[in-house]
Structure formats: C-alpha cells, structure tokens
C-alpha cells in the first residue's frame, strides 16, 4: 500500500467473493478503477486475465502499482497503468477504442463516485458484450437503476461494503461492434 495515502483497501473476503462471481477469467480484458495498490488487477492477472488496465489519479498509488508489478515480475505486455481521474477516464479509454470484459471499481466512500462511474461507463460504451461492471460501495449509497446498457445483475453486502454487479445488456438487433467474451 502506498504510504501517506488515505485508502480503504478491498477486504480479502470481498475480493474472493468478486472473483467467485466472475468465475474463469482466462483471456479476459480487465479495467481496475481507483486501483490503489493494484491488488485486484494483480490477482486478475494471476488468474489468467489477458490484460489489466489500472487507473488511479494519485501519484503514490500509481508508483506503488508499478513497483508491485515489477516486484512480481509481471510481463509489461499484460498491463497498462494510467494516472487519471477514474470518473473522467471512460471517455479517454473509449476514444482509444477499448472494450473491457470486466470493470471493477472501489472508489472512496461518501462522494457519489460509484454512481458517476456507472453513468459514464453506460454512456461511453466501453464494456464488452455481456461484460460485468462491479462496484464496491458504501451500503447507504444509491446506485442508478435506470441505465441504458447496464442491468443490475447481483448485489451482496459485506458489513458496510456492498458489491453491486451490473451486466452489459445486449440487444441482438443492435450490434455495437464491440467484442468480448464474458
């Protein structure tokens, strides 16, 4: 964990539950928002994800992620580290033509960031067909239910934390051209 950064890392039991929901992620393309130390994305790589993009706006977090990846000798072709505001990163990533099979975010509590990210992900269309978007958020946060392309799939509480999973709906009559295989 980066020193001097106020963070609330995802508990091990919560991270394990999320990976159980996802099942086999071999070959998947993953986006970790509010990446912190990169623990979620690093575990995704260890479980066979083809590529992980780590996004965090804190310089110390970005440096910690890079150090962790280097220490673990992870091939640099399997990841990208981006220093950016996670809420604003959607349009940037969509502009690069990126589509993700799995998006995981664990934003700071009490700021409404999970809601903003869900709205932006829905609008920018960067989740692949049948892709999953998972938000770890405070139990009293109200997430949007009226999204155009994301449908609430699953939700479970862990103390004050809740994991809410959205699945990208896919209308067979409208092919968006994105490819994914979740």
CB-count burial class (<10 Å; 0-12, 13-18, 19+) for 95: exposed
| pTM score, whole prediction | 0.85
Q: Tell me the domains of the chain and their CATH numbers.
A: 12-168 (3.40.50.150)
Q: Residue 32: its pLDDT value, please? A: 96
Give the mean model confidence (pLDDT) for residues 81-87. Answer: 94
Which is more confidently placed, 85 or 110? 85
Q: Residue 171: its pLDDT value, please? A: 59
**Inter-residue contact 55 to 31 (CB < 8 Å):** yes
**Inter-residue contact 38 to 78 (CB < 8 Å):** no
pLDDT for residue 176 is more than 50: no
User: Of all residues in the chain, what percent carry a pLDDT higher than 70?
Assistant: 86
DSSP for 76-100, please give it.
GGGEEEEES-HHHHHHHHHHTT--E
pLDDT for residue 30 is more than 80: yes
């Amino acid at each position: 964990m980066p020193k001097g950064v106020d963070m609330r890392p995802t508990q091990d039991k919560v991270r394990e539950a999320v990976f159980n929901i996802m099942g086999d992620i071999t070959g998947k393309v993953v986006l970790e928002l509010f990446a912190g130390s990169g623990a979620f994305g690093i575990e995704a790589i260890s479980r066979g994800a083809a590529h992980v993009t780590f996004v965090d706006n804190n310089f110390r977090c970005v440096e910690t992620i890079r150090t962790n990846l280097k220490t673990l000798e992870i091939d640099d072709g399997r990841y990208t580290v981006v220093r950016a505001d996670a809420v604003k990163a959607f349009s940037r990533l969509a502009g690069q033509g990126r589509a993700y099979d799995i998006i995981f975010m664990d934003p700071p509590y009490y700021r409404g960031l999970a809601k903003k990210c869900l709205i932006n992900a829905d609008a920018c269309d960067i989740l692949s067909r049948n892709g999953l978007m998972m938000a770890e958020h405070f139990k009293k946060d109200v997430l949007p239910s009226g999204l155009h392309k994301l449908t609430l799939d699953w939700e479970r509480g862990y103390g004050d934390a809740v994991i809410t999973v959205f699945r990208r709906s896919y209308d067979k009559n409208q092919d968006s051209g994105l490819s994914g295989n979740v």
